[in-house]
Chain A
């Protein structure tokens, strides 16, 4: 099945630094989603991307849909302590009929040192 390779697995950065993480796949996706999950909580949708080459921002977050449709990047600028959490990329895979399911990357654990 389609799998997403997310990297890095973890990051330790200083407050104020910029962060970049990415997801790659051997298969084409027509949508990329980026989520953040805080400990003990459900994931929160950060950015949704629908077109190859699309660059979308949400505050200090910027995500890009790779031109090959096989990768996506998430950048966080000027990190702050509340950026701490696990970031997941996800893409939809048709699972039969009109149903689909999301395949997730394994996540990037971000730690921000104040």
Chain B
């Protein structure tokens, strides 16, 4: 149980375009979803927390107008990277929580901006 999927698993886009990443909880209701960014050989960096039906709470230094998060249902959250630039290239991982402190992570999305 507690499976989270992400789509796409990898994406290459041109600078200036927008990219949407989907995160789905497949077998539980994720009342809270989290979006992380991970650089090579580093730990996970929390970008934002979203509760279903509410606006996301962004971490300090994360531009909310650039990283748009929508959590419209208990099983789906999306992250849209708007006007992507090469420095946005990274590994993006989502996680879901059903009400406990346990977070279940998706497999990640590798974004490359050329």
Proximity string of chain B (63-104) to chain A, C-beta cutoff 8 Å, 1 when within and 0 when not: 000000000000000000000000000010101000001111
Proximity string of chain A (35-54) to chain B, C-beta cutoff 8 Å, 1 when within and 0 when not: 10000111111001000000
A residues less than 8 Å from B93 (CB atoms): 42-43
B residues less than 8 Å from A41 (CB atoms): 107-108
Interface of B is mostly: strand
Query: With contacts A43-B105, A44-B105 known, is A95 near B49, CB below 8 A?
Result: yes
Interface residue ranges of A46-101 to B (CB < 8 Å): 48, 88, 92, 95-96, 99-101
For chain B, the bracket of interface size reads 20 to 34
Quick check: is A11 within 8 A (CB to CB) of the other chain? no
B residues less than 8 Å from A88 (CB atoms): 43-44
Interface of A is mostly: strand
Contact (Cβ within 8 A) B57 A95 = yes
Least CB separation from B109: chain A residue: A42
Which A residues contact B (CB, under 8 angstroms)?
A: 31, 33, 35, 40-45, 48, 88, 92, 95-96, 99-102, 104-107
Which B residues contact A (CB, under 8 angstroms)?
A: 2, 4, 6, 32, 34, 42-44, 46, 49, 51, 57, 91, 93, 95, 101-108, 110
28 A-B residue pairings within 8 Å (CB atoms): A33-B101, A33-B102, A40-B91, A41-B107, A41-B108, A42-B4, A42-B93, A42-B95, A42-B105, A43-B93, A44-B105, A45-B102, A45-B105, A48-B101, A95-B49, A96-B57, A99-B32, A99-B51, A101-B34, A101-B46, A101-B49, A102-B34, A102-B46, A102-B101, A102-B103, A104-B43, A104-B44, A106-B43
